[in-house]
Amino acid sequence: MFGDFVYWFSVGIFSGLLANLDDEYKVQQLVLSFFILYHIYFLAERHYQHFIGGMALESDGTNVLIYLNAGKNLWYVFKQKFFVYIITLIPLIIIGDFIVYILTPISLTTIIWLLSMQILALNAFGALNYISSAFYPHFEFRNAEELNEFGDKKMVDSILDAMSLFIILPSMTIPMVLFIMGYLTKSQYLFINPIFLAIYLFGMLFISLLLVKRKLNKKQFIY
């Protein structure tokens, strides 16, 4: 659930940065940033992969005909699946944040902000998981584990993974990096960072959902 080598590599980098920081506030921001971005990204991806048999767009297999026969389209099926995906993860995040709140001297306002951003990030990163299924749906699998193994889907997933790890996630930390390096004052950082993150995550969510909707709202023939 908590990630593979890349996840722990990210933890290592963050820990290394923390070891060289004296400013307590900057340390806290670095930790919060990790919790909002990397931790949620890996949690969202792992949760999807582990429960792909229930969460994936195609997880009902040929039973998807139940929906199509009822006059619903694949966008309707996606909404059901995505909703289940999100509501099964939100309690985990709330419990995690509650533990952080109890064990650390973090303020209530900060923890509420953290939780809101994490839920937004969860939606944005979660929607990325569905793009390959929307473009290359495979309802013909025999076993749910096969859903990760279709070549066309794998290619899209690999591209999205690489983009997320090397472009999206690092670029989201730009205000924090500028703050740590002293290019932004604390007040500038407090103003810019939440707006930047909210716009970035909303934008990502909007684009992902738009792509999925445009693809799935069309009349599709899965036979």
Partner 1 sequence: MGAASSDYLLKVHNLTKIENGKKILDQATFEIAENKIVGFLGPNGAGKTTTFRILSELTGYDDGEIYVNGVKLSDLDRKEIMLLPDAPLLFSVLTGKEYLKFMSELLNFDIDSPEIKEMLQLLGLLNSLNKQIFNYSLGMKKKLNLIPLLMKKPKLLLLDEYLSGIDPVSMKDIKNILIQYAQNGCSIFMSTHQLEVCERYCDSIILISNGKILKNNISISEIKETASSLEEYYLNVFSTEEG
Q: Which positions lie near partner 1, rule CB under 8 A? A: 60, 62-63, 65-72, 219, 221-223
* Residue 64 vs 124, nearer CB to partner 1: 64
* Residue 12 vs 54, nearer CB to partner 1: 54
Rounded Cα gap, residues 28 and 9, in angstroms: 19
* Residue 15 vs 62, nearer CB to partner 1: 62
* Residue 84 vs 192, nearer CB to partner 1: 84
81 and 41 Cβ atoms separated by less than 8 Å: no
57 and 150 Cβ atoms separated by less than 8 Å: no
C-alpha distance from residue 7 to each of 15, 95, 127, 150, 158 (Å): 12, 20, 20, 25, 16
H helix or E strand, kind and range, residue 199: helix 186-216
Residue corresponding to tokens 């193994």: 149
**For residue 62, what is the DSSP state?**
G
Q: Which of 64, 111, 55, 56 is nearest to 88 (CA)?
A: 55
Q: How far is the CB of 54 from partner 1 (least distance, A)?
A: 10
Q: How far is the CB of 87 from partner 1 (least distance, A)?
A: 17
Q: How far is the CB of 151 from partner 1 (least distance, A)?
A: 21
Q: How far is the CB of 197 from partner 1 (least distance, A)?
A: 37
* Residue 105 vs 219, nearer CB to partner 1: 219
Q: How far is the CB of 82 from partner 1 (least distance, A)?
A: 17
